[in-house]
């Protein structure tokens, strides 16, 4: 499937000698033998499938071990069940983004590529973080390996590096750098041409998004004070919206490699680029806004509840007596 897809993409690329040099292969592919119209099918990178399968198997093993240690009706069991649903939902969203026809279509349409990236960063990543996989994966290990991993995690050097990597500002900067850096025309087109660069692009998008959401809504959010999570979300909404606006309002093509595939599908390349920028500008920015508002509502609720609990809310009688 993958070889046939790349073969057809090579044929399409050779149609435009002004844009591409013969002999270069795309990272994505349009499936279809010979001169038949292009079609889009499921794609499977063996090493990606293996990593996805290992993550799911480890989570299932860890979850069942933890489930056996607590009463099915306990609060911890109910919380873990919610985490399981979130992890499975995020895992499925990531699998659809990487293996479904969307992956092949993203090699022909920039707008489809934006849908794929936003699905990874705004759907799969927060759901996977909500699944709290790190602790569950630890419980999938044998007893001795789990103890050794626990000692490693508690080690001062590891703890210091981890806290630095997952600091809100660090995670914010890494995610912003990945977004802006990979959408530079040279970097983005390099990912289209070379499979290993394309894999690096997807990995950086996903990993930085996981770090970002971990500091916003995961265990890392416990280290933050008040509005840090909201600030991270709102500022990310602003700079991603700005990038989407630049792509949408551009008068020329940023990514000429999409010209021939778009024409093969009867799509105007500039309109396709504008649609892709609009997807980043409006729906993606709205997702960050909704997340920020949800965290703001939760933060205000907790603050009010804490104020009442410690007796800060005092009812003063009408006569002024206390």
Query: 89: domain range?
Result: 2-309
pLDDT at 320 over 60: no
Residue 65 lies in a domain: yes
Distance CA 66, CA 68 (A): 5
Local confidence band at 70 (pLDDT 50, 70, 90 cut-offs): confident
* Stated pTM of the model: 0.82
What is the pLDDT averaged over residues 267-272?
95
Find residue 39's DSSP bridge partners. 31
- The reported pLDDT for the residue numbered 211 is 94
Distance of CA 248 to the CA centre of its chain: 22
Residue 77 lies in a domain: yes
SS3 category, 31? strand
Distance CA 103, CA 41 (A): 9
Local confidence band at 205 (pLDDT 50, 70, 90 cut-offs): very high
SS3 category, 87? helix
- The reported pLDDT for the residue numbered 7 is 44
What is the pLDDT averaged over residues 59-72?
87
pLDDT at 313 over 80: no
SS3 category, 210? helix
Q: How far from 141 is each of 58, 59, 62, 132, 148, CA to CA, in Å? A: 8, 10, 8, 16, 10
State the total domains in the chain. Answer: 1
Local confidence band at 1 (pLDDT 50, 70, 90 cut-offs): very low
Residue 174 lies in a domain: yes
Residue-wise pLDDT for 43-52, tens only, equals 888 999 999 9
Residue 198 lies in a domain: yes
pLDDT at 315 over 70: no
Nearest residue to 26 via CA among 207, 252, 206, 188: 188
Q: How far from 303 is each of 189, 299, 300, 310, 313, CA to CA, in Å? A: 48, 6, 5, 11, 12
Q: CA-based angle 162:164:168, to the nearest 5? A: 110
Mean pLDDT, all residues of the chain: 83
- The reported pLDDT for the residue numbered 33 is 45
| Helix, strand, coil content of the chain in percent (nearest 5) | 75, 0, 25
Residue 321 lies in a domain: no
- 197: Cβ–Cβ under 8 A, 6 or more apart, which residues? 27, 190, 191
Distance CA 138, CA 66 (A): 10
Dihedral sign of CA atoms 80, 86, 87, 89 in order? positive
Residue 286 lies in a domain: yes
Distance CA 80, CA 206 (A): 24
DSSP label at residue 181: H
Residue 319 lies in a domain: no
Residue 235 lies in a domain: yes
């Amino acid at each position: 499937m993958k070889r046939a897809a790349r073969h057809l993409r090579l044929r399409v690329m050779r149609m435009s000698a002004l844009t591409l040099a013969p002999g270069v292969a795309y990272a994505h592919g349009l499936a279809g033998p010979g001169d038949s119209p292009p079609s889009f099918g499921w794609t499977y990178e063996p090493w990606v499938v293996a990593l996805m399968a290992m993550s799911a198997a480890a989570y299932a093993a860890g979850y069942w071990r933890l489930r056996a240690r607590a009463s099915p009706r306990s609060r911890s069991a109910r919380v873990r069940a919610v985490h399981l649903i979130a992890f499975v939902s995020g895992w499925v969203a990531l699998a659809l983004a990487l293996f479904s026809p969307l992956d092949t279509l993203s090699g022909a349409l920039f707008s489809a590529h934006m849908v794929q990236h936003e699905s990874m960063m705004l759907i799969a990543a927060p759901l996977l973080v909500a699944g709290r996989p790190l602790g569950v994966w630890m419980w999938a290990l044998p007893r001795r390996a789990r103890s050794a991993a626990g000692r490693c995690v508690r080690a001062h050097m590891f703890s210091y590096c981890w806290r630095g990597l997952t600091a809100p500002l660090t995670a914010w900067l890494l995610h912003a750098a990945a977004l802006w850096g990979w959408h530079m025309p040279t970097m983005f087109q390099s990912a289209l041409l070379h499979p290993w660069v394309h894999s690096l692009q997807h990995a950086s998008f996903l990993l930085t998004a996981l770090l970002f959401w971990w500091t916003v809504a995961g265990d890392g959010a416990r280290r933050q004070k008040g509005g840090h999570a909201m600030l991270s979300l709102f500022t990310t909404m602003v700079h991603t919206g700005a990038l989407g606006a630049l792509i949408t309002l551009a008068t020329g093509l940023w990514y000429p490699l999409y010209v021939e595939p778009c024409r093969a599908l009867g799509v105007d390349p500039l309109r396709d680029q504008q649609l892709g920028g609009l997807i980043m500008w409006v729906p993606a920015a709205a997702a960050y806004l909704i997340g920020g508002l949800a965290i703001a509502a939760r933060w205000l609720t907790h603050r009010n509840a804490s104020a009442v609990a410690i007796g800060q809310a005092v009812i003063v009688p009408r006569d002024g007596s206390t």
